[in-house]
Each structure stands twice: as C-alpha cells, then as structure tokens.
Amino acid sequence: MNMISSNIRSAVSIGFFAAALSLGPTSDVIATEQVAGSLKLSAPWIRASVPGQVNGAGYVQIDNKGKQRDRLMSATTAGVNRVELHTIITENGVAKMREVTGIDVPASGSVKLSPGGFHIMFLGLSEPFKAGATVPVTLKFEKAGEVKVNFEIKPPTYNPGAASGHGSHRH
C-alpha cells in the first residue's frame, strides 16, 4: 500500500511540472493582462528564488474602473505552506514586512503591488520558483470574487520599478 500511495504522489508531482512547462512558450500572451468585472490585473510577476530561499513574493498592478472600492482579501496557490498579504513599513530606518488583512483597490483608481510595498507572500515553497515558469494564483476579491492569474517568474535581478518612471502613474 505504501508503494502505491508513493507512486500516486510522484505522478501528481510530475503532472504538475509538465503543466507548468507547457505554459512556458505562451506565458507572454496569457500573463500580461486579465479583466475580472471592473478590475484589470496587469503584469503579474514573482521573483525567482535564490539558492536556499524558502519564501517568495508576487507583484501585480490592479486597476479598478468601477465606482465601488474593491479589496484583495487573500491569495492561494499550490505547492506552498501558506500565502499571506504583506506590506513593508520602515521603523527607525529599518524596512520590515507586516501582514495585512487586505489590500484596498480604490474606486476609479488603482493599487500596485511592487517591491518595497504591498506584495503577495508565498511561505514555505515546496520547490524553488524558477525563472521562465508561471505560477497559477487565485486572488480573492471582496466584490470581484475569485480571479485566477498566472504569475510569470522573473530572474532575481528583475526590478521594473528601477527601470522606468511608470510606477508613479496615478488617477
């Protein structure tokens, strides 16, 4: 019986990686933008793990065309112990991560999850995040409900905030 259950477990795990690999060639098409109700989710990405790293962070731009505020309540994905929503605060010159209960998306406005601020925290990775793969994440919003988003894994050196001035765009 032990042998059977261990065979099943490895079959599931191989299936997971085959699915992840098959998304690779089309990831540019599916990962750039997604609309859910009045929300638009753009450029979802996760920083690739460096050796020894067991946690990871995900980022995405969320625009709200609606007249009502929405709120990101939680996120889930396979292959991690726990997913939390975090922000970064600075106390006495030291940046620290803090869990938040939700991230508001203002009416007719936007919120950008980005390095140095709000992020989706993946805790206890069963496998490292490898650049070039995608991670399917389900985001749960108060009003828009559940939205499945494919996060693209970018190299550890990727930092879109440093390379362009688009981060300051606001409405």
Decide: 25 and 37 in contact? Cβ < 8 Å: no
- Residue 73 vs 97, nearer CB to Cu ion: 97
Among 86, 103, 129, 152, binds Cu ion (CB under 5 A): 86
Q: How many residues bind Cu ion (CB under 5 A)?
A: 3
User: From residue 95 to residue 114, what is the string marking binding to Cu ion with x (rule CB under 5 A)?
Assistant: --x-----------------
State the distance between the two ends of the chain, measured CA to CA, in whole angstroms.
60
Q: How far is the CB of 56 from Cu ion (least distance, A)?
A: 9
User: From residue 48 to residue 77, what is the string marking binding to Cu ion with x (rule CB under 5 A)?
Assistant: ------------------------------
Q: How far is the CB of 117 from Cu ion (least distance, A)?
A: 10
A 10 A CB-CB count for 97 gives 14
Among the residue ranges 17-25, 30-38, 121-129, 134-142, the one whose residues contact Cu ion (CB under 5 A): 121-129
User: What distance in Å separates the CA atoms of residue 150 and residue 109, rounded to the nearest whole number?
Assistant: 23
Q: How far is the CB of 127 from Cu ion (least distance, A)?
A: 19
Helix-, strand-, coil-residue percentages of the chain, each rounded to 5: 20, 45, 30
- Residue 95 vs 162, nearer CB to Cu ion: 95
Question: Which amino acid does the sequence have at 94?
Answer: V
Among the residue ranges 6-14, 73-81, 116-124, 132-140, the one whose residues contact Cu ion (CB under 5 A): 116-124
Decide: 45 and 52 in contact? Cβ < 8 Å: no
Residues that bind Cu ion (CB under 5 A): 86, 97, 121
